[in-house]
Amino acid sequence: MIEWLRQPWPWYVAGPVIGLMVPVLLIIGNKSFGISSSLRHICAACLPSKAPFFNYEWKNEIWNLFLVGGILLGGIIAGQWLSSPDAVQINPKLAAELSSYGISNYNNLVPAELFTWPALLSAKGLILMAGGGFLVGFGTRYAGGCTSGHSIMGLSTLQLPSLVATCCFMAGGFIVANLILPLILKL
């Protein structure tokens, strides 16, 4: 059992279980699945602002902070006890491309050469972590949701804005991954 759990799980196991998050959250408490709003609640709770966008009863949404706290704990549990001993198996074409930028360590979920504390002092690391993070936070709120809120919850309820947003997530990702990221990795 533990052996099986330690292997990477195939998409046809993971996908349907992720989909079940939608009915589970609805049935246990009338909550719409989504994660990016947690960032807004953190702002509303911790950062002072007069902006009307942050003036609401954030305690009514505290369930969302428990959910993301759980995700953090889940990361620790999976990382400590369920991690696969093997490196991520990636497409040889991607491996060839990445090795030309000096990335060859596939043991972590993020490249060990790029996402470390010392890397923050380099332009590359700073753009990827701080710049990328800022875009994630700004973009998801502007779009009204993220992959879970729009692409899973929103598409499940057949919302048009969610379909448009999902297409834009993908379009933005294709542009940056293929055209911009290579330039950044060359820095």
Whole-angstrom Cα distance, residue 57 to residue 66?
16
Sketch the per residue contact string, 126 through 155, with other proteins: x for CB under 8 A, - otherwise: -xxxxxxxxxxxxxxxxxxxxxxxxxxxxx
Q: How far is the CB of 131 from other proteins (least distance, A)?
A: 7
Contact status: 85 vs other proteins (CB under 8 A): no
Q: How far is the CB of 3 from other proteins (least distance, A)?
A: 13
**25: burial class by Cβ within 10 Å (0-12, 13-18, 19+)?**
middle
Could you tell me which of 149, 141, 147 has the C-alpha nearest to residue 167?
147
Tokens of 51: 């902006």
Contact status: 3 vs other proteins (CB under 8 A): no
Near other proteins in 6-25, by CB under 8 A: 8-9, 11-25
Could you tell me which of 149, 169, 147 has the C-alpha nearest to residue 22?
149
Contact status: 187 vs other proteins (CB under 8 A): no
Size of interface with other proteins, in residues (CB under 8 A): 137
